[in-house]
Amino acid sequence: MAIPPPLHPLAIVVVVTAMLVLLPSPSVAGDADLLQDICVADLTSTVKVNGFACKAGAVTSDDFYFKGLAVAGNSSATPYGSVVTAANVVQVPGLNTLGVSLSRIDYAPGGVNPPHTHPRATEMVFVLQGTLDVGFVTAAGNRLVAKTLAAGDVFVFPRGLVHFQRNAGDAPAAVVAAFNSQLPGTQSLAAAVFAAEPEVPDAVLTKAFQVGTKEVEKIKARLAPKKG
């Protein structure tokens, strides 16, 4: 299978910039509006606010800089065959109160970013390379909205809706994802119900999924956080 030529870096910059501009305004659907020019996050502060307290010391260019998205993550080292490299307020403190962030997602052949939601943001992905089957499920009627994407394509996952991506090709794939939140949050459906702490009672899960206790315990054992 022929591998398409890599996209020009300038094209990637233009598309990602457009993604950030076109995402809904924070005042409409994302984080709260900022009240000053900048508020670099103090990630060590014990002050509890909706976001992060502003850093008291001098602001530097490094507060607004991150180069981690340039390198592909090791997707083969994860059980799902995908890995997310985040560039949110935790990695870029200068994003605090700005209502935007990025991530890079890398997929091994056949790798899946399993069904999950982002409770605080709409997501827009731009395919860097590879072929991906993607989709989201509507809250009204549980309708699947799905598409197969190729390099250069863009797809939107509305805020809070369950969605997924799967590498449908025989070569690695990657996307850059833009969010209209400094910290969109990610909740994996499988982990949320089968790996919660304390555990969701088996009686709830057996009834909800119409399976036996043995099946529930087997899934819990596979998804349980690794200790040590």
DSSP SS3 for 55: coil
What the block records as the tokens of 179 is 């969010």
Q: Is 208 exposed, middle or buried (0-12, 13-18, 19+ CB in 10 A)?
A: exposed
116 is in an annotated binding site: yes
Distance in angstroms (rounded) separating the CA atoms of residues 109 and 32:
39
Which string of DSSP letters, residue by residue, matches 64-113? G---GGGS---GGGSTTSEEEEEESTTT-GGGTTT--EEEEEEE-TT-EE
8 is in an annotated binding site: no
User: Binding-site residues, please?
Assistant: 113, 116, 118, 123, 163
Binding-site residues for oxalate sit at 113, 118, 123
Q: Which segments are annotated as binding site for Mn(2+)?
A: 116, 118, 123, 163
